[in-house]
Amino acid sequence: MPSEGGLDQPVQYIKGVGPKKAALFEKLGIHTIRDLLLHYPMRYEDRSQVKKIAQVEVGEFVTLIAYVRSSAAKPRGRRGGVFEAAFADDTGFLKTTWFNVSGKAMAARFKPDSEWIVSGRVEINRYSGAKTIYHPDTEKYDGDGSLGAMGRITPVYPATEGLTQKNIRAATLAAMEHAGALEDFVPEAMNKRYRLPPLADAVRLVHWPATGVNMDDLELARTREQKKLIFNEFFLTQAGLALKRKGRNPQRKGIAMDAGPELIRKIKSLFPFKLTHAQDRALAQIAGDIIGGERPMTRLLQGDVGCGKTVIALAAALIATRNKKQAAIMAPTEILAAQTCRKISSFLKDTKVDTVLLTSTSRNRSKTLEQIKEGSAHIVVGTHALIQEGVEFADLGMAVIDEQHRFGVAQRAELMRKGESPHTLIMTATPIPRTLAMTLYGDLDVSTIDELPPGRTPVHTRMYGKGNRAQALAMVRDQAREGGQAYIVYPLVEESEKLELKAARVMFDHLKEADLAGLRLGLVHGKMKSAEKEKVMADFMEGLLDVLVSTTVIEVGVDAPNASVMMIEHAERFGLSQLHQLRGRVGRGSRKSHCLLMADTFPGSPAWERLKVMEKTNDGFAIAEADLTIRGSGDFFGQRQSGFPEFRIGQILRDHKILAEARKAAFGLVENDPHLLQPEHAPLFRAISKWWAEKFSLGSVG
Ligand code: ADP
Ligand code: MG
């Protein structure tokens, strides 16, 4: 067996890879032979059966060997350049079409009579009725099939300019002789328990599947070999999380508090409504953490906008105050903090609990600070101002962070440092599937509110193109006439704040004078002073304005129950989760509400598909899943969450069952051997030290 060391040799060691190719492999992040082995195919083509053109049927995915008989480039139209080529073999010919391409470049590539391997799904052209493959995959056919790339299932790799599939296939094939040197950090017994094949076999067969493997299984990553590699990836990250969780401030005890059924019942009686089942469940989980008292609670509470998280935060705060401790609730903006404070005060008006507001513009700041310090302020609601120097709590027992994605990890830690190991509750309105939450917030416990309070009417959502803009504006006018209110939101254009501002101002003036003349309009933009902004927002919330035009995203969580229209300009520029957040601003009262997505798209385009999701569902989880599938986890969580692990082969949504298994296995292993001291856990220890520690730093809040 070759030694592991061989794996860390540079790719140039592989036959056929010289300095020039090595530089191209570098671009793909491939430096060593190990990297090459872990450069898994992104998909496969079944070339075990090459079809003749005469045999192809509509709807079928086919691979052909054919030559270019004729081609035509059409000038740039609405969809960019169109390129058409007719491919032929000895039985007939078949059309292929590309949109949005440079006709010149395509014509240079597909020269008459050149031979190609063409694959794709056969469809019917709507206009001509001819069988057509749109955007087929093509590869130059060199007649020999020497790599075994024909007549079998062939891997297709992520590639880069200058490096062909053939190059990559040759390199990975040559690297296969080193596969046996890969060390499996999953202990043998565990492989047996989960029926996982040996690692080296899995690597070989994932690159070059055996003939006869079901293509659907391969596409969906359901083969035994794929499962093994996915399991390994997830297992490593989960073992890292398990260790981190085990090692989390072991010396810190949680603050012991009474959170028994009697207290919870009393707290619930303060609300003018019955909690939903989901709220009840979340509150019971919080109480359970606190009663346990082994260590401080670190719980994430997630749920769609309007599901009633703030109410649960208040309940958590009240558990603390009833135990003679203080609670702090930190919100990302002044508007939100003020609103939360108002709401809480109204729930607590018949109690002796004192709620104060602390922001950077607070009047009576020194008095408020004094109250916090001596403990006469029981619940402190505030912004970042809460974590500034000079803010001292008498005895902080519960720290709540609202809209966690707006804060960095460091800021969360700051708030916690204002007390002695206070319990913490972190809230987010971008709900994500449970399996994903486990991975992303691995060392937090997660509660999910998956139910809205009764009496909400779902928001009706529709796309509007240029052609029916007038109709959308008519909707705004009608709703205003009937006593409703509307938001009109413009996307934030980061490159040019000035331009954006101008556009919004021009639009604002225009709307005011023309389309929405006679209505009371207000404008909020990022360049306004916070006091001015608050004034306009407050006017809107009090019903002194009919329409609020906003250049920035309207503050998450703002509650104007009378608002019934959300009109979003250039909706295609927003992410789905963002659109869903915006939509959550309306439909808060009993009035039937509408979300108007203004976008110039055409059916079938990616933007159209995305916005279609908004039309189809109001379910934040479904939208988060769709967003995640479309954008990938990296984009979804954005820069701030960049510690999120990227997997090479595992996909959290598709492979959630394997993730759950790997998690269970990893947590079980760490439970039994918390320091990975057993000899059979040495490879795992090495792998984690090497890879995990540097890559993953998320979720650490304590
Ligand atoms: P979130 O913070 O999750 O966006 P909120 O806590 O602000 O949601 O609740 C949204 C609205 O629903 C508030 O006006 C709140 O008083 C109300 N609400 C919360 N829970 C319930 C419930 N169980 N029954 C009726 N109304 C509720
Ligand atoms: Mg809220």
pLDDT tens track for 178-218: 999 999 999 999 999 999 999 999 999 999 998 889 988 99
Centre of ligand 2 from the C-alpha of residue 32, in Å = 49
Amino acid at 491: P
Q: What is the pLDDT of residue 264?
A: 97
Burial of 545 (0-12, 13-18, 19+ CB in 10 A): buried
**Least distant ligand from the CA of 309:** 1
Distance CA 629, CA 649 (A): 14
Amino acid at 530: S
DSSP code of residue 6: G
Q: State the Cα torsion 78-79-82-88 to the nearest 10°.
A: -140
pLDDT tier for residue 550 given thresholds of 50, 70 and 90: confident
Q: Does residue 164 register a pLDDT over 90?
A: no
Task: Write down the CATH number for the domain with range 459-617.
Answer: 3.40.50.300
- Whether residue 327 contacts residue 419, with contact meaning beta carbons closer than 8 Å, is answered with no
Centre of ligand 2 from the C-alpha of residue 455, in Å = 18
From the list 421, 426, 448, the residue with the least C-alpha distance to 257 is: 421
Provide residues with CB under 6 Å of ligand 1. 273, 275-276, 279, 303, 305-311, 429, 453, 557, 559
pLDDT tier for residue 249 given thresholds of 50, 70 and 90: low
Name the average pLDDT for the chain: 85
Domains 49-151 and 459-617 fall in the same CATH topology: no
Helix (DSSP H) and strand (DSSP E) numbers for the chain: 24, 21
- Whether residue 85 contacts residue 110, with contact meaning beta carbons closer than 8 Å, is answered with yes
**Least distant ligand from the CA of 403:** 2
Residues 6+ apart with CB under 8 A from 604: none
Number of Cβ within 10 Å of residue 34's Cβ equals 19
**Fold of the domain built from segment(s) 49-151:** OB fold (Dihydrolipoamide Acetyltransferase, E2P) (2.40.50)
Q: pTM for this structure?
A: 0.65
Ligand 1 atom showing the smallest separation from residue 305 Cα: 4
Atom 17 of ligand 1, residue of closest alpha carbon: 308
Number of Cβ within 10 Å of residue 602's Cβ equals 10
Q: Give the whole-number percent of the chain exceeding pLDDT 90.
A: 48
Centre of ligand 2 from the C-alpha of residue 305, in Å = 7
DSSP string, 11-65: GGGSTT--HHHHHHHHHTT--BHHHHHT---SEEEE-SSPBPGGG--TT-EEEEE
Domain residues of the chain, as ranges? 1-46+158-220, 49-151, 261-449, 459-617
Atom 20 of ligand 1, residue of closest alpha carbon: 308
Distance CA 464, CA 487 (A): 16
Q: Does residue 1 register a pLDDT over 60?
A: no
Centre of ligand 1 from the C-alpha of residue 310, in Å = 7
**Least distant ligand from the CA of 455:** 1
Distance CA 685, CA 676 (A): 6
pLDDT tens track for 626-675: 877 766 554 554 433 434 456 788 887 788 789 889 989 999 999 999 98
Mean pLDDT check: name the lowest of 14-23, 567-576, 610-619, 635-644: 635-644
**Least distant ligand from the CA of 588:** 1
Ligand 1 atom showing the smallest separation from residue 303 Cα: 3
DSSP 3-state of 247: coil
Ligand 1 atom showing the smallest separation from residue 561 Cα: 14
Ligand 1 atom showing the smallest separation from residue 343 Cα: 16
Residue 234: CA atoms inside 13 Å, Cβ hemisphere, count?
28
- Whether residue 117 contacts residue 65, with contact meaning beta carbons closer than 8 Å, is answered with yes
Centre of ligand 1 from the C-alpha of residue 221, in Å = 41
Centre of ligand 2 from the C-alpha of residue 474, in Å = 31
Burial of 121 (0-12, 13-18, 19+ CB in 10 A): middle
Ligand 1 atom showing the smallest separation from residue 276 Cα: 23
Ligand 1 atom showing the smallest separation from residue 449 Cα: 3
pLDDT tens track for 299-332: 999 988 889 999 999 999 999 999 999 999 999 8
**Least distant ligand from the CA of 305:** 1
Q: Does residue 620 register a pLDDT over 70?
A: yes
Number of Cβ within 10 Å of residue 153's Cβ equals 19
Q: What is the pLDDT of residue 702?
A: 28
Centre of ligand 1 from the C-alpha of residue 538, in Å = 20
Q: Which residues surround ligand 2, an ion (CB under 5 A)?
A: 310, 557
Centre of ligand 1 from the C-alpha of residue 103, in Å = 56
Ligand 1 atom showing the smallest separation from residue 273 Cα: 24
Q: What is the pLDDT of residue 416?
A: 86
Atom 5 of ligand 1, residue of closest alpha carbon: 308
Read off the tokens for 502.
């101008």
Q: What is the pLDDT of residue 633?
A: 52
Atom 4 of ligand 1, residue of closest alpha carbon: 306
Centre of ligand 1 from the C-alpha of residue 579, in Å = 20
DSSP 3-state of 372: helix
- Whether residue 347 contacts residue 400, with contact meaning beta carbons closer than 8 Å, is answered with no
Atom 27 of ligand 1, residue of closest alpha carbon: 453
Centre of ligand 1 from the C-alpha of residue 340, in Å = 11
Centre of ligand 2 from the C-alpha of residue 54, in Å = 61
Centre of ligand 1 from the C-alpha of residue 306, in Å = 6
Q: Does residue 382 register a pLDDT over 70?
A: yes
Q: Which of 283, 300, 310, 343 to mutate to test the pocket of ligand 1 (most atoms within 8 A of CB)?
A: 310
**Least distant ligand from the CA of 404:** 2
- Whether residue 159 contacts residue 171, with contact meaning beta carbons closer than 8 Å, is answered with no
Q: What is the pLDDT of residue 283?
A: 98
Q: Does residue 224 register a pLDDT over 50?
A: yes
pLDDT tens track for 486-519: 999 987 654 455 555 566 778 888 899 999 999 9
Q: What is the pLDDT of residue 500?
A: 57
Amino acid at 239: A
Ligand 1 atom showing the smallest separation from residue 310 Cα: 6
Q: Which residues pair with 170 in a beta bridge?
A: none
Q: Estimate the share of the chain in helix, then strand, then coil, as percent rounded to the nearest 5.
A: 40, 20, 40
Ligand 1 atom showing the smallest separation from residue 340 Cα: 7
pLDDT tier for residue 61 given thresholds of 50, 70 and 90: confident
Read off the tokens for 363.
């009047």
Number of Cβ within 10 Å of residue 517's Cβ equals 10
What would the mean pLDDT of 542-564 be, rounded to a whole number? Answer: 79
Distance CA 404, CA 400 (A): 9
Of 115-119, 177-181, 400-404, give the range with the top mean pLDDT.
Answer: 177-181
Task: Write down the CATH number for the domain with range 261-449.
Answer: 3.40.50.300
Number of Cβ within 10 Å of residue 348's Cβ equals 19
**Least distant ligand from the CA of 450:** 1
pLDDT tens track for 457-473: 789 999 998 888 999 99
